[in-house]
Amino acid sequence: VMGKRLEDHLRFAVAWWHGFAWPGGDPFGGQTFQRPWFGDTMKDAKAKADAAFDLFAILGQPFFCFHDADIRPEGATFAESRRNLEEMVDYIGGKMEAGGPKLLWGTANLFSHRRYMAGAATNPDPDVFAYAAATVKSCIDATQKLGGQNYVLWGGREGYETLLNTDLARERQQAGRFLQMVVDYARKIGFDGTILIEPKPQEPTKHQYDHDVATVYGFLKEFGLEGEVKVNVEQGHAILAGHSFEHELALAASLGILGSIDMNRNDYQSGWDTDQFPNNVPEVALAYYEILRAGGFTTGGTNFDAKLRRQSLDPVDLVAAHVGAMDVCARGLKAAVALLEDGELERLRADRYAGWDGVAAKAMLDGSLEEAAALVEERSIEPEPRSGRQERLEAIVNRFV
Ligand code: 3MF
Ligand code: MG
Ligand code: MG
């Protein structure tokens, strides 16, 4: 399709944080999982990397993604954390050279540590801003060193709980300044990957400044960064924002900022992010349909931002989870390709707007209210609603999924 093999459209990535770092945390209990590699030492971090590459060898997926905090132990000081990260980057780099997957993206965890409870870039404390900036620098360096094709920023704590203690305008300015610093540094060191913001509403802070694609685009425009930064769209985050996955993808594509996707599943109980592995082929098909219509991924890909359920104690379940998820995506992509090749949907869509091909209608696109008013009276225009044929379109989709 479009000159590429099917798998080159999918560009699967395994997320390091769910598979190897997530302790099965339960807000009503605590840690659920026990893994032999859990621990705070460099030895544990290396054992975790070994386990990760064992899984990658079984799955054979082309990419992986990580946060700094997933791959290195936190040091007693910033400098120690940075050195730990550098050592792990060398360790992982060696494994990648031996034939492992490539890095789709790296990112900084600016949300788990208690220092970020009141925000990272948007924190009222300038020391936290500086610490976050230093951390992102070390993560861009790590991503660059491992040949990462993108760099992601998810503003997990960039928001507020109560407006009463919040200078909203100031915090958004701080976030804009921070993002400019990120872009400047990435360009300065010759990082040629794509910088991506991952929008998400309502969690963990009640009011997130990066609520959805439209909000992030407004933010990028405000700071003149819409040509520099794109978005990483996540299914679960789209649902939490009251959208569908395909809506967020289509909007991002139309704004020219569609970069990559975090694939997972949030469904009817959508008050919080459940990060399940995808298992809804029709929904996935509509997502890839939008991605293909936008020309497919360039540097982006399909990252499984999905975790095992807490009762799935055996890490071997990670194999089944990823295999099943890849199958769902492959089936969704094939359905999307078949729909595009069939062409009926696109013909019907174009047909719906065919009225705009007339000369008078075209003139209205650069006309005025007066011209429209004159036209309506001169031609006695009295519109009747046209048939939308929605069930017919859905029936076409249903033939392919
Ligand atoms: C939270 C997320 C994050 C991001 C990650 C990279 C922990 O809901 O989706 O995963 O994907 O921080 O941006
Ligand atoms: Mg995500
Ligand atoms: Mg998420």
Atom of ligand 1 nearest to the CA of 232: 13
Question: Residue 277: what pLDDT?
Answer: 97
Q: Between β-strands 207-208 and 159-160, what pairing exists: parallel, antiparallel or unpaired?
A: antiparallel
Q: Whose CA is nearest to atom 9 of ligand 1?
A: 305
Q: Are 94 and 50 in contact (CB under 8 A)?
A: no
- Residue 113 among the catalytic residues: no
**Which atom of ligand 1 is nearest the CA belonging to 107?**
6
Three-state DSSP class for 140?
helix
- What parts of the chain have a pLDDT lower than 70? none
CA 359, 365, 366, 372 dihedral sign is positive
Q: What is the pLDDT of residue 269?
A: 81
pLDDT at residue 365, rounded to an integer: 84
Is 283 touching ligand 1 by the criterion CB < 6 Å? Answer: no
Contact 401, 281 (CB under 8 A): yes
Query: Does ligand 1 have an atom closer than 6 angstroms to the CB of 305?
Result: yes
Q: 98 exposed, middle or buried (CB, 10 Å; 0-12, 13-18, 19+)?
A: exposed
Rounded to whole angstroms, how far apart are CA atoms 122 and 176? Answer: 9
3-state DSSP call for residue 271? coil
pLDDT in tens, 53-106: 999 999 999 999 999 999 999 999 999 999 999 999 999 999 999 999 999 999
Q: How far apart are CA 15 and CA 66, in angstroms?
A: 6
Between CA 195 and CA 107 the distance in angstroms is: 10
Contact 199, 237 (CB under 8 A): yes
* CA–CA dist 371, 356 (Å, integer): 16
Q: What is the pLDDT of residue 253?
A: 98
351 is catalytic: no
Q: ipTM of this complex > 0.90?
A: yes
User: Which ligand is closest in space to the CA of residue 261?
Assistant: 2
Distance CA 114, CA 383 (A): 60
Ligand 1 atom with the shortest distance to the CA of 65: 6
Question: Measured between alpha carbons, how far is 124 from 263 in angstroms, rounded to an integer?
Answer: 33
**Burial (0-12, 13-18, 19+ Cβ within 10 Å), 295:** exposed
**377 annotated among ligand-binding-site residues:** no
**With a 6 A CB cut-off, is 128 part of the ligand 1 pocket?**
no
Cα 237 to middle of ligand 3, angstroms: 6
Residue 237 labeled ligand binder = yes
pLDDT at 1: 80
Closest-CA residue, ligand 1 atom 10, reads 305
pTM over 0.95: yes
Give the pLDDT confidence score for residue 361 in this predicted structure.
Answer: 87
Q: Which atom of ligand 1 is nearest to the CA of 203?
A: 8
Q: What is the 198 CA–ligand 1 centroid distance (Å)?
A: 7
Q: Which two tokens stand for residue 303?
A: 């990252």
167 carries a ligand binding annotation? no
Helices and strands, counts by H and E, the chain: 16, 10
Cα–Cα separations (whole angstroms), residue 22 to 73, 172, 194, 315, 368: 14, 30, 26, 11, 58
Do strands 12-15 and 302-304 pair parallel, antiparallel, or not at all (unpaired)? parallel
Ligand 2 centroid to residue 234 C-alpha, Å: 6
Q: Are 65 and 13 in contact (CB under 8 A)?
A: yes
Tokens of 172: 């958004």
CA of 184 to the centre of ligand 1 (A): 23
